[in-house]
Structure 1
Amino acid sequence: MSDTSILLPPAASRASATLLCVDDEQNILSALRRLFRHDGYRVLTAISGDAGIKLLESEQVDLVISDMRMPEMDGARFLEVVSSRWPDTSRILLTGHADITSTIEAINQGQIFRYISKPWDDQDVRLIVRHALEHKQLERDKRRLEALTQRQNEELRELNASLEARVEERTAELRLTHDALAAANEKLKTSFLTSIKVFSNLIEVTEGPRSGHSRRVADLARRIAVKIGLDRTATQDVMLAGLLHDIGKIGMPDALLAKSVSQMNTEEFILFKKHPIKGELALMALDSLRSAARLLRSHHERYDGQGYPDGLSATDIPLGARILAVANDYDGLQIGSFSAKRLTSVEALAFLQQSRGKRYDPQVLDAFASLNDSEIVDKAQKEWALGPNSLKPGMVLSRDLVSREGALLLAADFLLDDSLIKQIRGYTRYEEQSVVIHVRADWIETNTNQKSAINIDD
């Protein structure tokens, strides 16, 4: 079926059309009625223009056939009225050869579909009427489709606007969800790191004056990793390994742990050398610590291959473990865990340099030696040192808060609230000593109106 056939009315619909024939001669009207008898049209007749108008006012007419020459109101005038009042009704003019001027007037003013000259051919008239009705139906279909298209376009615009609003609403919801998840994730990371620091502190409870060793090693290892250019994930693994590098010593005799490595006998040293493997095994079950566990296992390997537990050398040793070895030994030399004699920081650095390419990776030593105060956080510019009574909810610790014995009380990056502030103040009263708490400067800078209420020396 063609597209045109879809728009055309079926034969039954065309046959039900109503025609109005207007002529002042009854025999013409009778002839027209007989002509359309077999086409199934409903045929109305009127003997004047006025009579035709009255019929049009009361009947639904699809097509008008009007004679040109009629008394009182000629065909041109009659069809002009029809065009004005019933523009959807098709109009055909019957005219003689002598009525050319009037025909032109009817075409211009009455906007007729066709004119038929008298005498007419019956088949031509029937065909013209059929074409007129089909043409009018096409116009109706066109208007209907245009109206439908316009309505659908309006609906699409409304739908599009509604969809845009929904998308914006959904995007806002997703953004809020993302922000909430990001905040929750950040809180989890902070809690995770705090837990590691607390656990690291528990490992060192029995070490007395050596307390804080793991935190110092972790911080120094992190700075070296940043200097070398490790990415954020690798740097965090190095720091975590630094915090937990002595976890394998749990369960070893206190007498053994109180000795420096140089003071241990053969049997004690064999037992001591097992702690890297034990430490790795203790952390292997935790996915988030598996990489740190691998570094922990190898932090006593030597660059020349004479270390333990696997005898790895050079770049076969994970870079993070090579970094950890430098940080661990630098602090160990100063606290007496490496040798009985405690070295100064300058002496410890000199010892490391003497073992360049033997114990230690030259690249790591160069990065460590190049560290200077300008690459350490500028505490004066980026943090404030406050007394307990100046703490405010919303402040964030910039450093670990440790007890007089070196035990970790709160980890850096902890968000203070009323409850924690009360606990800190209670602790300082219990200890009966002055405690300085370091907080990020950004909170104070943001809340500039709070500066006047903060007493740094309280």
Structure 2
Amino acid sequence: MSGNRTVLLVDDDTNVLNAAARVLRKVVDVATVNSPQLALEKIKTSGPFAVVVSDQNMPGMDGIKLLGLISKKAPSTTRIMLTGDNDQKTAVKAVNDGRIFRFIGKPCDSESLQKVIEEGIAHHQTLVAERELLEHTLSGSVKMLVDIIALSRPHAHVRASVIQRWARKISRALGTKPSLEQGVSAMLCTLGYLTLPDRLAERYFVGDALSPEEMRQVNEAASQARDLVLNIPRMEGIAEAIYYCRKGFDGSGFPNDEIEGESLPEASRVLCALIDLAEIATGDQPNFEACITELEQNAPRYDPRILGAMRQVLGGDQVFAGTVDVERKKVPAARLLSGDTLATDVRDGEGRLLLAAGSHLSPITIKRLRAVSVMNSPDVHFDVWRQSVPASASAAADEPVS
């Protein structure tokens, strides 16, 4: 059978470890550790593993707790408990709290162990295949929602684009691979603002002071976003991440429930800090040091690792496009490219905002701008930021902004 066939064995009894490893090395790639702490480090440095087999009774952390943590850090890893404790309550707790695939007792003969490991590997491969299918099939739905946000709430689209870029930098600083939940929840974290009254949404995104009642509506928009996302199959994790994106690490904010700290989805913890930073940074050319200092005045609200990463990697970030490899150009509608970023607002003939500065152009938004060009003036040019290209590839009609 192809694919990932790595197995991690965790037991403080080295005799059990060695015996199990001898049996399994004939059919799979085996790694062994003798403590839960070393298991978590091994998963971080050498994962993902197809299967983790853990003893229940170990000093410092039992197997149920360990496998529960692994279920959050590596959800596609199959978790199996090997224990001499045949107590039914332990088995039930293992399945419920550790989200365990199989519960097998000691002693376990080699044939039974190999059979369970093969079932675990097959289960892992099924989860991986489903996740890959999910990522491909969801991309169209997510793209549609992003385009709806861009067309209906231009400022919300810009805010989400900024937060998504920041979130990628945070992931790199934390040394983690961006998860599907983190990437998509960052793209859709402003979806709930479609349900706000137009005037309230406009005031929120330009940084006007809001009343407590208005701020309640803004915060509870996360609930509306969750309900919208739940209409798409297999997006429960993304919906949960969005629902808790206004919830502080200390339990403050929306929703008012008992979930806090590391019980919150990691994507939610990242979004909470970045949404708050984006609110503080609203305005022209915000000073990062002043913004992060204001954020740090309420430090208990944020995961300290995430707050530290923000200070480390966001200091040189511009809220809108403008990096060393980006040029500002005036471009006719016919030469707009997917990936261009608007440098100025685009409004219709009556002054209504169509797309906000900072919007990343997609095929659907380019079509809208071309329609605007046809209705207003075929000679209209749009002010955009564009990734630098070799001079030979530059269009002769592109006019640098003076």
TM-score w.r.t. the length of structure 1 is: 0.44
The TM-score normalised by the length of structure 2 is 0.49
Computing the radius of gyration from Cα coordinates, the structure with the larger value is 1
Q: Which has the higher contact order (CA 8 A, sep 6+)?
A: 2
